Structure 1
Amino acid sequence: MVDRQPELLVDVSADGVAFVRLNRPEHLNALSRGLLSDITTVFTELDRRRDVRAVVLQGAGGRAFSVGADLKEMHARDTAEDLPYEPMREATRNPYETVLECRKPTIAALEGWVVGGGFELAMACDLRIATDTARFLMPESKVGLGANFGSQMLPRLVPAGFAFEVLYLAEPFDAETGLRMGLLNRVTSPEQLDATVQAMVATLVSRAPITLQRYKAMVHLGSSLPIATALRLNPGPSPYLSEDRAEGTAAFRQKRSPQWSGR
């Protein structure tokens, strides 16, 4: 009997960075039902863990971050079941929503093909770093799917004209185009991807965790509200009342690095 490798690998470093790796390289990290369930479970747990300061999401194998839905599995399911899957209508949480709502800073490290549901996973993260060989595609208009999450997230990340072009035409584009439209934060060589991600995540974990949590909540909750309402949001915990605020100002005065407690 051949032992099956887990479809999702998780490793938490000593400094509190969780590295989550899609692990179906022989299938270009296609999103099987099991893998999507694992993503939901893992990100729900990472959201709760006090020792996790940031999360990096990446794909195994180098050829693809993820090519999206496992269409072979979907076809088999369609022929065996009466009703097809519809997003936001099943008992389990939507995995893209789970990644989006994780309160820790999240980075997608993108190499190879980033397609469909894989593209949506990348959009669910706060920051996106890609290699200059990465290729992006939302193919749903060619195969009759709907990109439920992507059709809402993409126009929140890039100008509407770019979003319509990507969604309507279903044509691939490169990382430089993604950087120009504002989808990506950094573009680097494949050889420098890990180092670029490590540099960014090292900066993230050096910052006050309650402040980063507050920023994430304020950006997501306030982006669709009138400014007068958004300014009155108060998602807790408050950095203004935290022990970390006192530690941060003391460290500044004493010219030392702060020791954050997350309280």
Structure 2
Amino acid sequence: MDMLNPYCGVSRDGRGVARLTICNAGTLNILGSSAIAGIKEGLQSLAADESIRVLLFAGASEKSMIGGADIKEMATLDQASAEAFITRLAELCDAVRTFPAPVIARLPGWCLGGGLEVAAACDLRVAAHDAKFGMPEVRVGIPSVIHAALLPRLIGWGRTRWLLLTAETVDAPTALAWGLVDAVALAGELDAAVEKAVASLLACGPHALRAQKALLRQWEDLPLKDAIELSVGTFGRAFLTDEPKRLMQGFIDRKR
């Protein structure tokens, strides 16, 4: 693994899969200001690399990808510094959400608060069988904000209210049933489940996947009519690459 900075390491394989690992943030990978800045910096440097087909987002320990934001730091904040802190965390979530290639969250153990907000910003979420999820902010005197706003789109308003207002945690099977995660691994098989998701993405055209991710982001903010119209140009531009002809011909040849 190559260290991009003290908080962010990256490893790559020959398939175009990059693994970004959160480092030096404690056993639960807690996000303080320094870690937030380092991870965001790492994401931004990798975003320029068009050879990356899939980004795997992971923590250095098996206790969590990101356990949450640093309560010890937050306890020292005032209004101005609180807004600055949460803006930095929002920028990190945006760096995940706008990463050009698909991002898979590898989710062992605890995924709470800011950690769940980062996970929600990823494209796919694969959880360990014993993972736990929650938004406990109201129990420490603050509301859940920034990319918690993505949760109603994932799990609906009722379940979002339950998470944010009760601060209760949910287990991995519940998270899967709610749509909070996309897959739950069998015991001891988290990496195998992640690899299955990676393989599904690698079976697709890399240019098409990047275009599809960009469209999905834009669809979230557009009326249906505008979203459909926007799609037409994206479809046409796909034919500026060799992917449609090459992959469609491969499909036709397999059917013969």
TM-score if structure 1 supplies the norm length? 0.86
Cross-structure match for 1:182: 179
Counterpart residue type for residue 124 of structure 2: L
More helix by share: 2
Partner of 2:252: 253
2:113 corresponds to which of 97, 113, 116:
116
SS in 1 for 2:52: coil
Q: Which residue of 1 aligns with 2:169?
A: 172
Once the two structures are overlaid, the 10-residue window that deviates more, 195-204 or 145-154, is 145-154
- Amino acid aligned to 2:32: S
Match of 1:138 among 132, 135, 140: 135
| Matched AA of 2:126 | I
Q: Structure 1 residues 27, 92: CA separation in 2 closer, same or farther (over 3 Å shift)? A: closer
Worse-superposed segment, 211-220 or 144-153: 144-153
1:23 matched residue in structure 2: 23
TM-superposed CA distance for 1:27, in Å, is 4.1
Q: Is the 8 A contact 2:90 2:146 kept in 1?
A: no
Gapped runs of 5+ residues in structure 1? Answer: 257-263
Instruction: Decide whether aligned partners of structure 1 residues 73 and 137 sit closer, same or farther in structure 2, where only a CA change above 3 A counts.
Output: same
Report if the CA contact (8 A) 1:111-1:190 is conserved: no
Give the partner amino acid of 1:132: H
Among candidates 99, 104, 117, match of residue 102 of structure 1: 99
Q: Could you say which residue in structure 1 is the equivalent of 2:196?
A: 199
Give the match for residue 58 of structure 1. 58
Following TM superposition, by how much is the alpha carbon of 1:46 offset from its aligned partner in structure 2, in angstroms? 2.0
* Secondary structure, aligned partner of 1:20: strand
Sequence identity, in percent?
Answer: 31
Q: Once the two structures are superposed, what CA deviation does each residue of 1:135-187 show, in whole Å capped at 9, x if it has no partner?
A: 11101111223332233110111111011111111111101110111111111
Q: For structure 1, which segment, 98-107 or 211-220, has the greater mean C-alpha deviation from structure 2 after superposition?
A: 211-220
> What's 2:239 paired with?
240
Count residues with an aligned counterpart. 249
| Residue equivalent to 1:75 | 75
Distance 1:42 1:196 in 2: 25
Q: Is the 1:88–1:94 Cα contact (8 Å) retained in structure 2? A: no
Q: Distance in 2 between matches of 1:19 and 1:91?
A: 22
Distance in 1, matches of 2:102 and 2:161, equals 28
Matched to 1:250, the amino acid is: Q
Corresponding residue SS for 1:183? coil
* Alignment partner, residue 12 of structure 2: 12
Deviations along 1:230-259, one digit per CA (max 9) or x if unpaired, are 101147582133221121123233449xxx
Task: Give the secondary structure class of the aligned counterpart of 2:126.
Answer: strand
The yes-or-no answer on 1:218 pairing with 2:215 is: yes
| Matched-pair contact (CA < 8 Å) for 2:33–2:88 | no
Identify the match of residue 229 of structure 1 among 207, 226, 231. Answer: 226
1:94-122 CA-partner distances (Å, limit 9, x unpaired): 10011001110111010101011111111
**What is the match of residue 260 of structure 1?**
none
| Structure 1 pair 83–217 and aligned structure 2 pair: CA distance change class (3 A) | same
- Displacement of 1:92 after TM fit? 9.4
Give the TM-score normalised by structure 2: 0.88
SS across alignment from 1:83: helix
Contact map agreement 2:18 2:52 (CA 8 A) in 1: yes
Residue 244 of structure 1 aligns with an amino acid whose one-letter code is E
Counterpart of 1:259 in structure 2 is none
The AA in structure 2 aligned to 1:39 is I
Matched residue type, 1:247: R
Query: 2-side partners of 1:220 and 1:147: how far apart?
Result: 22
* Distance change >3 Å, CA 150–CA 90, structure 1 → 2: closer
Matched residues in 2 for 1:162 and 1:15: separation?
38
Gaps of 5+ in 2: none
Shift of 1:26: 3.3
In structure 1, C-alpha distance between the alignment counterparts of 2:27 and 2:251, rounded to whole Å: 50
- The answer to whether the aligner puts 1:39 opposite 2:36 as a matched pair is no
Q: Is the 8 A contact 1:210 1:238 kept in 2?
A: no
